[in-house]
A and B are shown apart, each in its own frame.
Chain A
């Protein structure tokens, strides 16, 4: 009986939490001292993958889906007719520990609907993490939502026990937030984010001076934006993300393609496809900015506010900048090799290492796992010199698209295949 009740709650409260896409469990680096339970090392682990192909790394649940707010995009909004449930503090602790001991998960991702007040809610969340850390000696990963509007003291306490804290901005612009979440404003989000930024930086300084100083959210903070529920362009979305990375020192910004869950006229109707390709392109662009040295303005601009859907942003950039190619693979700087479509940063590293031993030829690149059929339009090989004859951007795009067997392809080419 008790078991059935918990099972039911778990289904409701995991189902309500699944639209939060963050699942990373990395960068926690909490060591297992004194033979406790758990150890979160720098690389996260994805323990399973659901049928949608998303990773399951954490027990991702809401403490409750009761909520006093009525945000149109949210499945737990006050006016929505769904089953409601709430875990007790001990139930969450027991679930986390029991799942963790069986190697199902890396840790806990706990969020909540807002019941009574932000402070009341935040207090319960803090109670759970405190119990896990102090009573259960748990060193696994904990990602906690900082509830907008909660007091700074509570958020500070949360940071002492959690690895990562996040405040979801949800809507990329103030107007959209006003439209869909009349109870919230951007300030509610920005304020705690700023507070967290300063606390994280302050604690980092302190730990440098004194190794025993308490750590504060060692895996930093992240946020999430819902994509496709409102009219923002990729320029606005990536611009906002850039602001978070630069000004707020965020570790990650997540993009969540809107899954229609409401008949509200302000939102895409139920049955509208989830903008998965667009979401994917945004992540690719995000990656290019964080790891490949691209600037947001190189990928989107006022003249081209949205990323192309049918090709990835790196190829799109290269085609718009053909004057920068071809690149001589045997002498080019690694920063430039990083920008070649078909070569990732690991591939670029391998190239730079291998060319010390011999002059690289196309077959060498193929053997090293470089996607040569994609890269070849942007490369030249010296001695004997060879480069692909001058194709136009459109010709290259056509040729590359023909060789990739994209599962999305059908969405773009309803017309006849001509080649």
Chain B
């Protein structure tokens, strides 16, 4: 068994695939930089991310697959499900070994797993386009900023930032992924990936009040009242609500927060 250690980026993974073919590595286990220490047994292969190698792999795949299938491999990477890298590798090996385009061979596990993982990521990206809730900061220190915090299961920020850029072209905004500790910031011109140090005290009501625009609380309150007013009690169906809006997302939904948690 060979541990293939790469830097955790998509380019790094593509480079790893190049190396796997180059050195004819068999029976591999992927490990990202920091987890690498855990693999004490077996041989170890260090991958140095190289644009040239990554591009070669991509080009080879482009000759065999449609752009949708290529995208699906990338989405599987973002899914962060268990063994996602192995699922990707199995599919890539199958694609390279076949003379025809195999991406529609859905009855085959090797193809199906990538398809499923990609579907899962698309679904969550769509959900995040819906469930982001911006709050407006005060404008006395900096220019006003609409900020939101999310904790999605998959790494969907790269997939949704264009949507928000097109939609909120005239406001500064920041969406921060607390789970992965990075955010996307739009400065009215372009998108920037940022790392922000959030104070531990951010949760406290006092800090929030100092941070937020004076009308912010009013609109949050209006939204919650609206949310309550459009419900039809005679049709109550909590199961249906939960199906569309699983509880794991409620933490950052203004309308689902307990009152004291809001600004």
Q: How far is the CB of A5 from chain B (nearest CB, A)?
A: 12
Chain A, 348-378, contact with B by CB distance < 8 Å: what is the 0/1 string?
Answer: 0010011111101000100110000000000
Most buried by A among B131, B171, B243: B131
Given the interface contacts A7-B221, A101-B146, A103-B133, does A54 sit within 8 Å of B104 by beta carbon?
no
Bound state CA distance, A175 and B130, in angstroms? 42
Asked whether B227 lies within 8 Å of A37 as measured between CB atoms, the reply is no
Chain A residues with CB under 8 A of B126: 43, 45
Asked whether A53 lies within 8 Å of B241 as measured between CB atoms, the reply is yes
Bound state CA distance, A47 and B132, in angstroms? 9
B248 interface residue, CB < 8 Å from A?
A: no
A-side binding surface: helix, strand, loop or mixed?
A: loop
B261 interface residue, CB < 8 Å from A?
A: no
- What class of interface size applies to chain B in its complex with A? 35 or more
A89 interface residue, CB < 8 Å from B?
A: no
Chain B residues with CB under 8 A of A367: 107, 109, 112
B209 interface residue, CB < 8 Å from A?
A: no
Chain A, 47-81, contact with B by CB distance < 8 Å: what is the 0/1 string?
Answer: 11111111110011000000000000000000000
B-side binding surface: helix, strand, loop or mixed?
A: helix
Of all chain B residues, the one with the shortest Cβ separation from A357 is: B105
Q: How far is the CB of B144 from chain A (nearest CB, A)?
A: 10
Contact of A274 among B229, B230, B234 (CB under 8 A): B234
B window 68-123: CB within 8 A of A? 102, 104-109, 112
Chain A residue total in the interface (Cβ 8 A): 58
Contact of B241 among A11, A35, A45, A51 (CB under 8 A): A51
Contact of A354 among B106, B230, B234, B239 (CB under 8 A): B106
A window 1-43: CB within 8 A of B? 3, 6-7, 10-11, 14-15, 17-19, 32, 35-39, 41, 43
A240 interface residue, CB < 8 Å from B?
A: no
Q: How far is the CB of A416 from chain B (nearest CB, A)?
A: 25
A395 interface residue, CB < 8 Å from B?
A: no
Asked whether A36 lies within 8 Å of B171 as measured between CB atoms, the reply is no
Asked whether A50 lies within 8 Å of B133 as measured between CB atoms, the reply is no
**Which residues of A are in contact with B by a Cβ distance under 8 Å?**
3, 6-7, 10-11, 14-15, 17-19, 32, 35-39, 41, 43, 45-56, 59-60, 95, 98-99, 101-104, 137, 257, 259-260, 273-274, 276, 350, 353-358, 360, 364, 367-368, 407
- Give me 13 A-to-B residue pairs in the complex whose CB atoms sit less than 8 angstroms apart, sorted by A's number: A7-B221, A10-B222, A14-B226, A15-B230, A36-B169, A49-B240, A49-B244, A50-B232, A51-B241, A52-B233, A99-B223, A103-B164, A360-B107
